A = this chain, B = another copy of it.
Amino acid sequence: MTMISTVAPDKQTITAFFTDLQDRICEALEAADGGGRFHEDRWERTEGGGGRTRIFQQGNVIEKGGVLFSAVHGPASESVMKQMKEEGQTAEFYATGVSIVLHPRSPMVPIIHMNVRYFELSTGDCWFGGGIDLTPHYVVEDDARWFHRYLKDACDRHDSTYYDTYKTWADDYFFVRHRNETRGIGGIFFDYLRPSEAHSKEALFQFVQEVGNSFAPIYTHFMRQNQALPYGEREKQWQLLRRGRYVEFNLVWDRGTKFGLETNGRTESILMSMPPQADWTYNYQPEPGSQEAHTLNLLKKGVDWLGK
């Protein structure tokens, strides 16, 4: 799917890639799941644009999740203009992207999140953002290394500095501050990637395509590899507690979620990231030496997964 062209990709080209990416990812997930089907809600935004929210419920492997596409536009808010240091100016914005969160049935399969997005202002300013990060209920070093290796290889095909920079960014972003733990084993996270002398718009778009295209191979690998691993009541209970932490991160710290809920976004699309079920136990402490304690010990910033 790498696109070669000599002109900078316009918003139509980028949008077309994202709609196609949503289609391809949904197909790949349905095939790997072998059970559930995506249910689609198309919605329109009063101020301009809309989206296709696709929700998966009651699959064999995936218990609940969403693969969302949206492309919205309208007058840029004052806060956006301020953030872009163009205070006092007025402009139109255009924003499009694909967002995914999948909660598997089995505690042995990780939760995954992916986002790729493009934003432009009628002032001429434009940038890409996105990333993929993994939240295993139980951290397994071999799986973590495989995941980070896949991302590093994808990054290295575009810029040898990308992986380190965006891996650190993910560690910092997906951090549950009030628990002093990372949400999972991180991955890559990037934002405000603007065309520059070093990276043309076409080059940035190729990188974002690579990230988007990495999602299905990565997650279907874990679906296939881990779905048959045995587990019992104890692992299920731990999964529910970890999902509680996922809820805490998304509702307290995730800027995208907060922004969406505070600016009258489509609530049901934003909160597709919520797990089907989550538990809270006061002051739960895993037994020393247990797999649960091992996982907690690894939910730290700055772990060198490739060296594990």
Contact = CB atoms under 8 A, between A and B. Distances in A.
Contacts of A271: 248, 280
Interface size class of A (residues with CB under 8 A): 20 to 34
A36 B57 CA distance: 36
Contacts of A281: 57, 276
Contacts of A272: 282
Interface string A229-261: 000000000001000100110011000001001
A172 to B, nearest CB: 16
Contact of A277 (B55, B66, B240): B240
Contacts of A79: none
A301 interface: no
A178 interface: yes
Interface in A23-41: 41
Given A248-B251, A251-B247, A274-B244, A282 B66 contact: yes
Interface string A49-66: 000000101000000101
Contacts of A41: 283
A97 interface: no
A44 interface: no
Contacts of A270: 178
A268 B282 CA distance: 6
Interface in A264-304: 264, 267-268, 270-272, 274-283
23 contacts: A41-B283, A57-B281, A57-B282, A64-B280, A177-B262, A178-B262, A178-B264, A178-B267, A178-B270, A179-B267, A240-B277, A244-B274, A247-B247, A247-B251, A252-B261, A268-B283, A271-B280, A275-B280, A276-B279, A276-B280, A276-B281, A277-B279, A278-B278
Shortest 5 CB-CB contacts between residues of A and residues of B = A251-B251, A274-B280, A178-B261, A55-B282, A268-B283
